[in-house]
């Protein structure tokens, strides 16, 4: 990328300037040493790493990389390394849709069946805007049990074939009734772009966005001609770094198929201060949070998350795709942009956390250090309970062994570290929880996700239910349950006996022990989930039911 450079001035002019400026106008210190130290603390130099760019007032104030682009070849990352972007792709898709809208080729209020007449909307009217704002109610294909962990993600699909993957899935809710992050919606936007423009999604973006902005290292997918400086993608298998699973880049499509560099993303950000692509009014609409039918505001516009960061208006998005994690944030009023691209889908440090810390530093409002303070464990007891955040979501707070834990419904149990008697944080994260007890007893939990200024409020609804009691059963029963159970096509739960233990492994996931609550009911301790084995009239096990996150998933025994 070509960066802004100061003009040369004559010695006379420099002397005159120095004589007229007060001492307080000295050049501000570079943020580089602090950012260098932040990255050094967060990431080992010999593992997968990150490329980072930070821009303020149109000038690049930091541009470096740390870590390895190829562990196998010993090649370090560089600032111009190429990464998969994942869901940062969505903002490009959204702006492309706005381009066509400004040209009168589509309207955001149009039903999607105007452009995709065969799509089964199941009796609902779903608009283009519903897709942009994640309020369509269409089932996200990446949430179909087993799809992303099964073999089908390796297949090259046409746009029509990809739409077919989810088109017959039941709706999650009526259009506009709720907000739920949705990759299917953006695949459909890509299909609409192709239909209206008459060009493949990647060709349209290259012609209308990448080439005009000089984004030379950005394209849809990383197949085809050799892409110089492309970073390898990694994951974790327990404590071991491993190569990421293969994913056909035809499948993320308009929801996540872009590859790029931090330099190209800075060019993209600069263009959004102009009207090179779309008018200012269109961008402001894209950066305005959508509202559900009942008037509840979301934190999402068109392809961009909308929030605040240390009191500043924040336009942001993260991405996660096999082998890569990404995050980019712009603070438009402060003219700050930070992009952090990681070549691991389980990085040593979260790009979102790093990006927010760097952006906060650039506006002079760094996050305070998150250091656990010593507390009497007896103080934790007042916060124990179940807190409801919405009809589907609770957080269960428990105290055990002198430590406090938080567990989101259907999720893993994570330790909370104390900042004070009533405020706690998750290690390695900007997320914190503050408890309110106006009359001495806990009433509310205020959840601040990833450094957000505004809290999600949970109301205490009761005590922690007694955990399932572990029952002694004859381990010989485990032989009856050992086998394979299909939760979804390509998504298998394998059950096996290991002496006196019963172990389960879902496709692509780690093996976990389950514990008996009865001869047919089992539960996990590390995740909020239960398994019930189902027997036929002859006493043979024919299947199971997995209960997790408010969902019941029956599985037929296949072996």
Which residues neighbour 147 within 8 Å (Cβ) at sequence distance 6 or greater? 141, 153, 165, 488, 490, 491
* 524, 512 contact by CB (below 8 A): yes
Q: Which CATH number fits domain 83-326: 2.70.70.10, 3.30.530.20, 3.40.710.10, 1.10.565.10?
A: 3.40.710.10
**pLDDT score, position 28:** 58
Q: State the DSSP H helix or E strand holding residue 396, giving kind and residue range, or none if neither.
A: strand 393-400
**pLDDT score, position 485:** 93
Q: State the DSSP H helix or E strand holding residue 543, giving kind and residue range, or none if neither.
A: strand 541-548
Which residue in the block uniquely carries the two structure tokens 């009734």?
177
Cα 388 versus chain centre, distance: 23
- Helix axis angle for 183-197 and 159-166, nearest 10°, is 140
**pLDDT score, position 10:** 29
Task: Specify whether the backbone of 217 is left (phi greater than 0), alpha (psi in -120 to 50) or beta.
Answer: alpha
Per-residue confidence in pLDDT tens, the chain, 559 aa: 332 222 223 222 222 222 233 334 445 578 999 999 999 999 999 999 999 999 999 999 999 999 999 999 999 999 999 999 999 999 999 999 999 999 999 999 999 999 999 999 999 999 999 999 999 999 999 988 888 888 889 999 999 999 999 999 999 999 999 999 999 999 999 999 999 999 999 999 999 999 999 999 999 998 778 889 999 999 987 778 999 999 999 999 999 999 999 999 999 999 999 999 999 999 999 999 999 999 999 999 999 999 999 999 999 999 999 999 999 999 999 999 999 999 999 999 999 999 999 999 999 999 998 899 999 999 999 999 999 998 888 999 999 999 999 999 878 889 999 999 999 999 989 999 999 998 878 899 999 999 989 899 999 999 988 878 899 999 999 999 999 998 877 678 999 999 999 999 887 778 899 999 999 999 998 888 899 999 988 889 999 999 887 678 899 999 8
Could you tell me where in the chain the CATH 2.40.128.50 domains are found?
Answer: 377-462, 475-557
10 as an active site residue: the answer is no
Whether domain 475-557 has CATH 2.40.128.50: the reply is yes
Q: Please give the structure tokens belonging to residue 471.
A: 């029952």
List beta partners, residue 11.
none
Q: Please give the structure tokens belonging to residue 121.
A: 């909307």
Q: Please give the structure tokens belonging to residue 451.
A: 């450094």
Helices (H), 198-233: 201-205, 211-213
**pLDDT score, position 5:** 27
Backbone angles phi, psi at 416, to 5 degrees: -105, 135
Could you tell me where in the chain the CATH 3.40.710.10 domains are found?
Answer: 83-326
Give the model confidence (pLDDT) of 161-179 as tens digits. Answer: 999 999 999 999 999 999 9
Task: List the catalytic residue out of 87, 136, 217, 406.
Answer: 87
For 312-352, what is the HEC assignment?
EEEEEEEEEECCEEEEEEEECCCCEEEEEEECECCCCCCHH
Architecture of the domain defined by 377-462:
Beta Barrel (2.40)
Measured over the CA atoms of residue 305, residue 65, residue 36 and residue 42, the dihedral's sign is: positive
SS3 238: coil
For residue 108, how many other CB atoms are within 10 A of its CB?
Answer: 17
């Amino acid at each position: 990328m070509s960066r802004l450079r100061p003009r040369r001035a004559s010695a006379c002019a420099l002397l005159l300037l120095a004589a007229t400026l007060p001492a307080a106008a000295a050049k501000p210190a570079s943020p580089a040493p602090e950012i260098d130290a932040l990255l050094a603390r967060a990431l080992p130099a010999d593992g997968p790493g990150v490329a980072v760019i930070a821009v303020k007032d149109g000038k690049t104030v930091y541009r470096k990389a740390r870590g390895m682009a190829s562990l196998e070849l010993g090649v370090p990352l560089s600032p111009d390394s190429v990464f998969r972007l994942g869901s940062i792709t969505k903002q490009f898709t959204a702006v492309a849709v706005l381009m066509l809208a400004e040209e009168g080729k589509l309207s955001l209020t149009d039903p999607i069946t105007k452009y995709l007449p065969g799509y089964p909307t199941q009796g609902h009217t779903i608009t283009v805007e519903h897709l942009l704002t994640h309020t369509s109610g269409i089932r996200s294909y990446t949430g179909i049990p087993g799809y992303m962990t099964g073999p089908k993600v390796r297949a090259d699909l046409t746009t029509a074939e990809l739409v077919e993957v989810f088109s017959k899935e039941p709706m999650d809710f009526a259009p506009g009734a709720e907000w739920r992050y949705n990759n299917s919606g953006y695949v459909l936007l890509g299909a609409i772009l192709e239909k209206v423009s008459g060009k493949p999604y990647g060709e349209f973006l290259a012609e209308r966005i990448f080439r005009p902005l000089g984004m030379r290292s950005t394209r849809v997918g990383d197949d085809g001609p050799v892409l110089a400086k492309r970073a390898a993608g990694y994951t974790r298998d327990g404590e071991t770094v491993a190569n990421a699973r293969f994913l056909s880049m035809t499948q993320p499509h308009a929801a996540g198929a872009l590859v790029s560099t931090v330099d190209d993303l800075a060019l993209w950000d600069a263009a959004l201060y102009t009207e090179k692509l779309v008018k200012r009014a269109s961008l402001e609409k894209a950066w305005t949070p959508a509202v559900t039918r009942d008037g509840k505001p979301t934190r999402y516009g068109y392809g961009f998350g909308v929030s605040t960061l240390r009191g500043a208006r924040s336009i942001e998005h993260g991405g996660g795709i096999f082998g890569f994690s990404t995050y980019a944030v712009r603070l438009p009023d402060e003219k700050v942009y930070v992009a952090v691209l990681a070549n691991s889908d389980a990085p040593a440090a979260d790009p979102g956390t790093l990006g927010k810390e760097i952006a906060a530093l650039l506006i002079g409002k760094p996050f305070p250090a998150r250091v656990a303070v010593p507390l009497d464990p007896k103080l934790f007891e007042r916060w124990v309970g179940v807190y409801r955040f919405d009809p589907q979501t609770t957080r269960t707070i428990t105290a055990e062994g002198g430590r406090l834990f938080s567990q989101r419904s259907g999720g893993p149990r994570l330790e909370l570290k104390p900042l004070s008697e009533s405020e706690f944080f998750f290690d390695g994260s900007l997320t914190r929880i503050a408890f309110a007890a106006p009359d001495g007893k806990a009433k509310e939990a205020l959840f601040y996700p990833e450094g957000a200024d505004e809290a999600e409020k949970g109301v205490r609804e009761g005590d922690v239910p007694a955990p399932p009691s572990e029952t002694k059963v004859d381990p010989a029963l485990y032989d009856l349950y050992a086998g394979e159970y299909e939760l979804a096509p390509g998504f298998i739960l394998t059950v096996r006996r290991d002496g006196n233990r019963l172990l389960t492994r879902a496709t692509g996931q780690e093996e976990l022990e389950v514990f008996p609550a009865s001869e047919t009911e089992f539960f996990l301790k590390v995740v909020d989930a239960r398994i019930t084995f189902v027997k036929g009239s002859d006493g043979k096990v024919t299947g199971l039911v997995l209960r997790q996150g408010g969902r019941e998933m029956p599985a037929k025994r296949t072996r």
